[in-house]
Amino acid sequence: MNVLVIDAQGGGVGKQLVSLIKQKIPTLKVVAVGTNSAATSAMLKAGADSAATGENAVAVACRKADLIVGPFGIVIADSMLGEVTPKMALAVAQSSAKRILIPFNHCDNVLVGVPDFATGKLIESAVAEILKAVGQKSPSVYVLK
């Protein structure tokens, strides 16, 4: 299974995702794509197997992914302070991959009915969904309800 982690800005969320994914399933292939070089670098340092930067990298990686993980802003054009281009959002939205989107209420995008949980809990919940998607269970990771 090919897991694609997409992040923007400083790559902090992507870094935490990659690190926890690799901790839980070290053999899982994780590709990291940042909207900028800082985000890409952070995810690569966290243990991503490969990484790339920019609009075309997002488009190509989305075609090859089985699972796409990142903040929900990756499907909204011009989100994340404008770093997610319309082409990037479209590539994520049109991908045949399963998407695990983390609900951060930032940058004028608010998901109504979704509590504002701490980032660490949201990351753990996302990784729990990844574990389910690849058919593994981990009692130390929980899903927020």
The domain limits of the chain are 2-133
Alpha-carbon distance of 63 to 32, in angstroms, equals: 14
Read off the pLDDT of each residue in 18-46 and give the average, rounded to a whole number.
96
Q: Is 27 exposed, middle or buried (0-12, 13-18, 19+ CB in 10 A)?
A: exposed
Q: Which CATH architecture has domain 2-133?
A: 3-Layer(aba) Sandwich (3.40)
pLDDT at 145: 33
pLDDT of 138 above 80: no
* Of residues 135 and 44, more confidently modeled: 44
Largest CA distance in the chain: 38
Q: Are 35 and 84 in contact (CB under 8 A)?
A: yes
Read off the pLDDT of each residue in 74-94 and give the average, rounded to a whole number.
95
pLDDT of 107 above 90: no
Alpha-carbon distance of 60 to 51, in angstroms, equals: 12
- pTM here is 0.86
